[in-house]
Structure 1
Amino acid sequence: MCRWYARILAHYPYIIILVVLTVVTTCLVLTITLGSRIDFDDPIAGFEPRGTELADRLVTFANLRQNVGNQTNLLPESKVTDNRPSSTVKKKPKRTSFNNNTDKKYRRWRSNMNNKTNANIFCGVPDESYPRLVVESTHDRSLFNFEDIQAICEMESHYFLHYEPYKNLCIRNPVDGFCCTAWTLGSYIAVLSEKNSCEHITAEDVASVQSLMLECAPFFHSGTLKINCDSEQEEWYFNSNYPPSACSDVPLKCTKYNAVAHIFYYLADSDFMHTRTPPLSSNKPKSFLKYSTLFLPVSSREHALDLFKELDSMPRDYKAIKIVAAEFNVKYLLFEEYLISDSMWLSGACAAIFIVMWLYTSSVFITIMAFLSLFWAVDIAYCLYTFVFNIKFFPYMNMVTLVVLVGIGADDLFIYCKVWRLAKSEKNNGVLEKLVLDTLQHAVMSMLVTSLTTASAFYANYISDITAIRCFSVFAGTCIVMNFVLTLTWLPASIMLEEKWLRCFTNMNNKKYSILYCLCKFPYRLYYWICDWSRIFFEKILPCLVIKFRFVWLIMFSIFWIGSIVIIFFYPRLKLPTSDKFQVFSSDHLLERYDLQVGKQFRFESNKNNVDRQQFFVSVVWGVLAKDNGDPLNPSNKGSLTFDPEFNITSPEAQKWILQFCARIRHTDFYLHMSSYTDCFFERFFKEFMAQDCSNLQVGDVECCNRTGFPIPADKLMDCLSIYISLLQHTPGVQYNNHSPGPRFSNRKISAFFVQLASNYSYSTSYEEAHTFYSKVNQWVNNESLYAPPGMRRGWFVSDLHFYDLQSSLAMGTPLTLGLSLSIVAVVSFFTTLNVLISIYAFMAVAASISVTLASLVLMDWELNLLESVIITIAVGLAIDITLHYGVAYRLAPDIGKEMRVITSVGRMGSPVAMATFTTMLAGALIMPSTVLAYQKFGTFLLLLVSLAWLYATFFFQSLLRIMGPNGGCGQFHWPASDCCTQGTRGHVDKTVYAFSDSTVSTSSTSTREQSQSQNYYTSHHELEPLTGQDHHLQRHQMPHSNNNIPYGCPQHLDQHNHHHPRRKGDYLTVKSSSTLLSTSGNTPSSPSASSIDKHKLKLTLDSIPAS
Structure 2
Amino acid sequence: MASCDRDRCRVPKYCAQYDAVYNLLFYIIDSDAFSPPTYSATFVKNVMIFLPLPTSSTILPYYMKLQETDLIYDTLSMPAMDLGLKNALFDLWIIEDTWLMGLGGLFVFLCVWVYTKSLVLTILLFTAITYSIGIAYFLYIYVFNLEFFPFMNLLVIVIVIGIGADDAFLYVKVWKMISKQLIRDNVVSNDNGLTDIKNVSSAGETILVQILEETLKHSITAIFVTTLTTAVAFYASYVSYIPAINCFSVFAGTAVLVNFLLMVSWLPVSVFIIDVKLCINKTVLLGAISKTINEIGEDIKVILNRFIITCIMRLHILFVVILGAIGVCSVVVVFYYPGLQLPDSKQFQLFQTSHPFEQYDMNYREKFLFERFGSDIGIGSKMPLRWIWGVKAIDNGNHMDPFSKGKLIFDENFSISNPKSQVWLLEFCAKIKRQSFYQQMLGPLLPNCFIESFKMYMSRRCIDNIDNINRTPCCESSQFPYTKEVFDFCIIKAVESLYQTPREIFMPGVAGPKFLRSAHPPSVAAIVVEYESVIPYSMSYREMDKFFIEVENWTRKELGDAPPGMKCGWFLSDLQFYDLQGTLAGGTVIAMMLSAGLGFIVLIPSTFSCIVSVSALLAMIFSSTVTIAILVLSGWKLNVLESVAISTSAGLAVDFSLHYALSYTNASGTKSTRVKFALSASSGPTAAASLTSGFAGIFLLRSNLLPYSQIGTFLTLIMSVSWIYATFFLCALLNVFGQSSSKDPPTEERKSISRVSSICSVVPNLESHELEHLADSNRTNITHSHSPSSVSATTVVIHDDYENSLSKIDKKPSVDLNND
TM bin, normalised by shorter chain, reads 0.7 to 0.9
Alignment of 1:130-529 (within 5 A): 218=1, 250-252=11-13, 254-277=15-38, 285-299=40-54, 301-426=56-181, 427-428=184-185, 431-504=207-280, 507-509=281-283, 524=290, 527-529=293-295
2:393 pairs with one of 619, 626, 630: 626
Matched, 1:649 2:419: no
Which residue does 1:693 correspond to in 2? 461
- Cα gap change, 1:831 to 1:484, in 2 (>3 Å): same
Contact 1:898–1:965 (Cα < 8 Å) also in 2? yes
Aligned equivalents of 1:251, 1:563: Cα separation in 2: 64
Aligned equivalents of 1:251, 1:1016: Cα separation in 2: 111
SS of the residue corresponding to residue 133 of structure 2 reads helix
> What TM-score does the superposition give when structure 1 sets the normalisation length?
0.65
Contact 2:671–2:734 (Cα < 8 Å) also in 1? yes
Aligned equivalents of 2:678, 2:508: Cα separation in 1: 73
Contact 2:231–2:257 (Cα < 8 Å) also in 1? yes
Matched, 1:811 2:585: yes
Partner deviation per Cα, 1:92-115 (whole Å, 9 max, x = no partner): xxxxxxxxxxxxxxxxxxxxxxxx
Contact 2:700–2:709 (Cα < 8 Å) also in 1? yes
Which residue does 1:931 correspond to in 2? 704
Partner deviation per Cα, 1:848-868 (whole Å, 9 max, x = no partner): 121211111111111222111
Contact 1:781–1:797 (Cα < 8 Å) also in 2? yes
Partner deviation per Cα, 1:769-814 (whole Å, 9 max, x = no partner): 1111111111111111111111111111111111111111112111
Report the residue type matching 1:546 in the other structure.
Answer: I
1:606 pairs with one of 372, 383, 397: 372
Matched, 1:593 2:359: yes
Aligned equivalents of 1:682, 1:766: Cα separation in 2: 35
SS of the residue corresponding to residue 417 of structure 1 reads helix
- Cα gap change, 1:937 to 1:300, in 2 (>3 Å): closer
Which residue does 2:784 correspond to in 1? none
Aligned equivalents of 1:422, 1:574: Cα separation in 2: 46
Contact 1:838–1:966 (Cα < 8 Å) also in 2? no
Aligned equivalents of 2:386, 2:801: Cα separation in 1: 73
Contact 1:830–1:836 (Cα < 8 Å) also in 2? yes
1:888 pairs with one of 651, 662, 667: 662
Alignment of 1:952-1031 (within 5 A): 952-968=725-741, 988=749, 1000-1002=769-771, 1022-1024=799-801
- Bigger RCO of structures 1 and 2 (CA < 8 A, at least 6 apart): 2
Report the residue type matching 2:729 in the other structure.
Answer: F
Partner deviation per Cα, 1:462-500 (whole Å, 9 max, x = no partner): 111111101100000010111111111111212222234
Greater mean deviation of Cα atoms: 628-637 or 558-567: 558-567
Shift in Å, 1:899: 2.0
Which residue does 1:727 correspond to in 2? 497
Aligned equivalents of 1:276, 1:320: Cα separation in 2: 23
Contact 2:462–2:471 (Cα < 8 Å) also in 1? no
Matched, 1:673 2:440: yes
- Cα gap change, 1:529 to 1:825, in 2 (>3 Å): same
- Cα gap change, 1:288 to 1:488, in 2 (>3 Å): same
Contact 2:176–2:766 (Cα < 8 Å) also in 1? no
Shift in Å, 1:712: 2.2
Aligned equivalents of 2:234, 2:585: Cα separation in 1: 18
| Gapped regions of structure 1 (runs ≥ 5) | 1-217, 225-247, 279-284, 512-516, 975-982, 1029-1063, 1069-1094, 1097-1108
Contact 2:174–2:771 (Cα < 8 Å) also in 1? no
Contact 1:910–1:998 (Cα < 8 Å) also in 2? no
Contact 1:445–1:1004 (Cα < 8 Å) also in 2? no
Matched, 1:836 2:613: no
Which residue does 2:515 correspond to in 1? 744
- Cα gap change, 1:738 to 1:327, in 2 (>3 Å): same
Which residue does 2:485 correspond to in 1? 715
Contact 1:454–1:480 (Cα < 8 Å) also in 2? yes
Contact 2:177–2:772 (Cα < 8 Å) also in 1? no
Partner deviation per Cα, 1:838-857 (whole Å, 9 max, x = no partner): 11111111111212111111
Which residue does 1:1050 correspond to in 2? none
Instruction: Provide the aligned length of Structure 1 versus Structure 2.
Output: 760
Aligned equivalents of 2:612, 2:177: Cα separation in 1: 27
Aligned equivalents of 2:766, 2:609: Cα separation in 1: 21
Contact 1:889–1:909 (Cα < 8 Å) also in 2? yes
Shift in Å, 1:508: 2.2
2:625 pairs with one of 834, 847, 851: 851
Contact 1:889–1:905 (Cα < 8 Å) also in 2? yes
- Cα gap change, 1:998 to 1:621, in 2 (>3 Å): farther
SS of the residue corresponding to residue 759 of structure 1 reads strand
Shift in Å, 1:566: 3.3
- Cα gap change, 1:455 to 1:998, in 2 (>3 Å): farther
Shift in Å, 1:892: 1.8
- Cα gap change, 1:565 to 1:766, in 2 (>3 Å): same
- Cα gap change, 1:479 to 1:744, in 2 (>3 Å): same
Partner deviation per Cα, 1:265-313 (whole Å, 9 max, x = no partner): 32333222425437xxxxxx32343333222111251333332232223
Alignment of 1:7-46 (within 5 A): none
Aligned equivalents of 1:324, 1:389: Cα separation in 2: 45
Contact 2:675–2:735 (Cα < 8 Å) also in 1? yes
Aligned equivalents of 1:494, 1:348: Cα separation in 2: 25
SS of the residue corresponding to residue 325 of structure 1 reads coil
2:426 pairs with one of 659, 666, 691: 659
Report the residue type matching 2:709 in the other structure.
Answer: Q
Partner deviation per Cα, 1:109-139 (whole Å, 9 max, x = no partner): xxxxxxxxxxxxxxxxxxxxxxxxxxxxxxx
Contact 1:997–1:1022 (Cα < 8 Å) also in 2? no
Shift in Å, 1:567: 2.6
SS of the residue corresponding to residue 245 of structure 2 reads helix
Aligned equivalents of 2:707, 2:776: Cα separation in 1: 42
Alignment of 1:62-77 (within 5 A): none
Report the residue type matching 1:684 in the other structure.
Answer: S
Aligned equivalents of 1:1009, 1:797: Cα separation in 2: 68
Alignment of 1:728-877 (within 5 A): 728-732=498-502, 733-735=504-506, 737=508, 739-746=510-517, 747=519, 748-877=522-651
Contact 2:449–2:511 (Cα < 8 Å) also in 1? no
SS of the residue corresponding to residue 618 of structure 1 reads strand
- Cα gap change, 1:366 to 1:428, in 2 (>3 Å): same
- Cα gap change, 1:739 to 1:256, in 2 (>3 Å): same
Shift in Å, 1:764: 1.4
SS of the residue corresponding to residue 80 of structure 2 reads strand
Contact 2:100–2:700 (Cα < 8 Å) also in 1? yes
Matched, 1:574 2:340: yes
Q: CA RMSD in A?
A: 3.3
Sequence identity (%): 33
Contact 1:538–1:906 (Cα < 8 Å) also in 2? no
Shift in Å, 1:940: 0.2
Greater mean deviation of Cα atoms: 842-851 or 556-565: 556-565
Report the residue type matching 1:428 in the other structure.
Answer: D
Shift in Å, 1:715: 3.2
SS of the residue corresponding to residue 731 of structure 1 reads coil
Shift in Å, 1:997: 8.9
Report the residue type matching 1:968 in the other structure.
Answer: S
Shift in Å, 1:1025: 6.2
Aligned equivalents of 1:1012, 1:425: Cα separation in 2: 11
Which residue does 2:316 correspond to in 1? 550
Which residue does 2:686 correspond to in 1? 913
Shift in Å, 1:641: 0.8
Aligned equivalents of 1:407, 1:220: Cα separation in 2: 70
